[in-house]
Amino acid sequence: MRFFLDFSYNGKQFHGWQRQINATSIQQTMEECISIIQGTKISISGAGRTDRGVHAKQMIAHFDVNKLRLNKNDFIFKLNMLLPDSVHIKKIIPVKDDAHARFNATSRTYKYYVSQIKDPFNYPFQYFLREKLDYEKMNLAAAILIGNNNMKCFSKSNTSVNNYVCDIKEAFWEKTKNGAVFTITSNRFLRNMVRSIVGTLIEIGIEKKNIENLYKIINSQKRSNAGYSVPANGLFLTKVLYPQSIFI
């Protein structure tokens, strides 16, 4: 039987999603706790691989078992008891045997939070910027990203992928009381892509780059031409969508 887990986490104490040899990851932590409940070694696969320090308001992962040893409510309760406070399981959902948390996802949405007012209670989850930002220009630039585009210029170097084309559905900034939030939805994301996009748009917002530069940056396919990579603490995976056909 295959199940999806719908959960959230604070990524500050983890070295990213993916299991690593000498560092604590979210994947490893969850696998160990599920294995305790099931009494056998369990592996899980996630919808994506968030970097070190990135958070998730919604992440999806799947795992296989012959049978859950507890009913679904008790399983969620027990798993939340075993997991650190920085990880919270919201739902467990039965899916078809060939459903895949990563490959069946039709879209993923990330949000990046920028604060323009220094706040000691928000700084772990927002990027504090003193510079005045031109959000109108940043939104005009963000609109250029929408559509099927080669995003190699925003990808971390030496990334092993077959292609760099991403179908971006939306990309926009919204002002908040203390700053702004950037929202981007795509069928897929490359490693470090969102953080380098945000850094590039910020450089446009402070007039270090202009909007016309963005066309040249994308066409160049060179990471060195794009803007800096903003810190991980302001980035959240917020939504992962799937076709209804994979659910039981």
Q: Active-site residues: which are they? A: 51
Of 61, 2, 1, the C-alpha closest to 26 is: 61
Identify the residue whose tokens are 């859950």: 68
Distance of CA 57 to the CA centre of its chain: 9
Amino acid symbol at 240: V
Q: How far is CA 182 from the centre of its chain?
A: 13
Closest CA to 157 of 229, 231, 230, 224: 224
For 184, the 3-state DSSP assignment is: strand
Helices 193-205, 135-144: axis angle to 10 degrees equals 140
Coil, helix or strand at residue 68: coil
CB 242, CB 106: distance < 8 Å: yes
- Parallel, antiparallel, or unpaired: how do β-strands 127-128 and 107-115 relate? parallel
For 135, list phi and psi in degrees, rounded to 5.
-70, -25
What is the three-class DSSP state of 92?
Answer: strand
Sequence length of the chain is 248
